[in-house]
């Protein structure tokens, strides 16, 4: 067998379609002696017997070790330049009460951006002083609650929030620590929907208005200006964006130091992870070292003290530690002309010299196998949202030749794709278990009930045991909030 002409250039024909690339899969992922996928010491089939499919599976030890690795990398890198680094876990990636507790145990702070995330973090035992509160449209109730519980830092996303947070803090009789989120104008190399520092978008205050915003904060007795905040986007592999954002931020930071204390600088998060073989993620030590060098050099050039630094990784910590298990349903081979492989390419215009007989084939044909699973965009919206790529493997090993496949969901949308392009063993069949790697971040967080499909359970695995982090939704759960449901006969209701 050879590469399928329908496959994208990034996807290479595998020598072993059952192989697990370590940098893509959870740290404990392995195959047993009989070839079955196991995570946390538990086989996929055992997990499915207990919890069914679809099923989110999180390698608990991997999450914890990655959190500690990031904290250690930044503590050491910034310690070498004479300052401290604070790591906030970006809760939007994946947050449950137990995940929040893991972060606290690992010595991380937690970043939340809604009242719901705030409630989950607090319920997980995170001290309010270890929380940062984000959001471009915080409600008055959310601001009041954050101030009331004693959130460590509120990130101001607009000029109007200065007065709103100041009023809430004054009403509570406290001085609230705040940061000002700056739109640096850096165009990160990522999908448009993942870039958060471009000029034409909803987040932050323009760089040119940073000093004005800081002055507004300093004029409020109930606010304490902690420093600036920047986040240029997510799933970024090019370090140039991080360097340029840090440089621009340091220019404004230096100007503000001349007019008052600026103890901290928050450089955000956003470095990518490996979803496929084509990706090449940063190591946290490399990110931390590069940022420390940039900050140290910038401060030396400007003759200012090195501030304390904060960063906000989320995806790096939980993404690779999670997988999703599905049951395979319908298998549907589709034969196409190879010329249709990449419909986004410029069309080829034929000339008279290119004319061929009407009965002569004009292109080779190739087959793509559609592999349907019992989930889809309701448990992983990322491919539909911004064309995210993933890696998939059958839970069992196979010696069958690989075939180009597209893993699709059960929803009523043509865009309901789980894995756009993957080589799977040609003997894939109904009833197989299929695992998709690196689904720990933004899959459960973005899950929905589209087509009235219940959201799957989330289980943590470690040392041969599994426990539920979030239970799955049943039909009863889906009906529970529907006020039109008729009472059962004989219920007396």
Cis peptide before 54 (omega within 30 of 0): yes
Q: Under a CB-based contact definition with an 8 Å cutoff, are residues 379 and 56 in contact?
A: yes
What would the two tokens of residue 175 be? 């001085």
Q: Do the Cβ atoms of 418 and 407 come closer than 8 Å?
A: yes
**Distances in whole angstroms, Cα of residue 162 to Cα of each of 34, 89, 147, 148:** 61, 25, 13, 17
Q: Which residues sit opposite 178 in a β-bridge?
A: 154, 225
3-state DSSP call for residue 465? strand
Backbone angles phi, psi at 105, to 5 degrees: -65, -30
49 Cβ contact list (under 8 Å, min separation 6): none
Secondary structure of residue 226 in the 3-state scheme: strand
Q: By C-alpha distance, which of 382, 383, 341, 345 is closest to 363?
A: 341
User: Could you list the active site residues?
Assistant: 412
For 136-146, letters b (16+ CB in 10 Å) and e give eebeeebbbbb
Are 7 and 421 spatial neighbours (Cβ–Cβ below 8 Å)? yes
The Cα–Cα gap between 342 and 402 comes to: 20
Q: Residues 126, 104: contact at Cβ < 8 Å? A: yes
Which of 152, 17, 33 has the alpha carbon at shortest distance from 86?
A: 152
The kind and range of the H/E element at 373 are strand 365-373
Half-sphere exposure of 236 (CA within 13 A, CB side): 27
Measured distance CA(31)–CA(34) in Å, rounded:
8
Q: How far apart are CA 447 and CA 205, in angstroms?
A: 30
Torsion 319-111-299-199 (CA) sign: positive
Rounded CA separation 159/206 (Å): 10
Cis peptide before 23 (omega within 30 of 0): no
d(CA 107, CA 71): 7
């Amino acid at each position: 067998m050879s590469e399928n002409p329908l496959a994208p250039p990034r996807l290479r024909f595998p020598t072993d379609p059952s192989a697990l690339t370590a940098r893509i899969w959870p740290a404990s992922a392995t195959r047993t002696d009989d070839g079955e996928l196991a995570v946390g010491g538990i086989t996929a089939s055992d997990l499915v017997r207990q919890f069914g499919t679809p099923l989110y599976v999180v390698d608990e030890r991997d999450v914890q070790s990655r959190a500690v690795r990031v904290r250690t990398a930044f503590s050491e890198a910034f310690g070498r330049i004479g300052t401290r680094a604070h790591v906030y876990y970006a809760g939007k990636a994946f947050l449950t009460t137990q995940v929040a507790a893991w972060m606290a145990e690992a010595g991380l702070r937690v970043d939340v951006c809604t009242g719901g995330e705030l409630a989950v973090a607090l319920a997980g035992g995170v001290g309010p002083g270890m929380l940062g509160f984000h959001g471009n449209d915080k409600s008055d109730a959310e601001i009041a609650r954050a101030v009331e519980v004693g959130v460590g830092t509120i990130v101001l996303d607009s000029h109007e929030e200065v007065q709103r947070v100041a009023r809430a803090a004054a009403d509570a009789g406290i001085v609230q620590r705040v940061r000002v989120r700056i739109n640096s104008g850096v165009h990160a190399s990522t999908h448009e929907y993942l870039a958060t520092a471009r000029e034409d978008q909803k987040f932050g205050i323009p760089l040119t208005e940073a000093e004005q915003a800081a002055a507004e904060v300093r004029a409020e007795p109930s606010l304490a200006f902690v420093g600036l905040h920047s986040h240029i986007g997510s799933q970024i592999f090019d370090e140039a964006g991080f360097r340029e954002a840090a440089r621009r931020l340091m220019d404004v930071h230096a100007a503000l130091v001349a007019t008052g204390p600026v103890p901290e600088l928050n450089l955000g998060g956003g470095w990518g992870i490996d979803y496929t073989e084509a990706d090449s993620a940063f190591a946290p030590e490399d990110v931390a070292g590069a940022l420390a060098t940039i900050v140290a050099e910038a401060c030396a050039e400007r003759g200012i003290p090195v501030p304390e630094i904060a960063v906000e990784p989320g995806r790096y910590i939980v993404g690779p530690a999670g997988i999703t298990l599905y049951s395979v349903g319908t298998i549907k081979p589709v034969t196409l002309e190879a010329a249709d492989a990449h419909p986004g390419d410029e069309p080829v215009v034929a000339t008279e010299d290119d004319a061929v007989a009407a009965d002569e084939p004009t292109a080779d044909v190739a087959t793509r196998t559609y592999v349907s699973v019992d989930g889809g965009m309701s448990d992983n919206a990322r491919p539909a949202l911004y064309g995210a790529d993933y890696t998939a493997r059958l839970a069992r090993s196979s010696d069958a030749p690989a075939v180009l496949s597209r893993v699709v969901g059960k929803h009523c949308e043509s865009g309901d794709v789980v894995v756009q392009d993957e080589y799977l063993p040609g003997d894939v069949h109904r009833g197989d278990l299929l695992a998709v790697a690196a689904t720990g971040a933004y899959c459960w967080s973005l899950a929905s009930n589209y087509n009235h499909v219940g959201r799957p359970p989330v289980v943590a695995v470690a040392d041969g045991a599994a426990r539920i982090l979030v239970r799955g939704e049943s039909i009863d759960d889906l009906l529970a909030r529907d006020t039109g449901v008729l009472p059962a006969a004989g219920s007396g209701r």
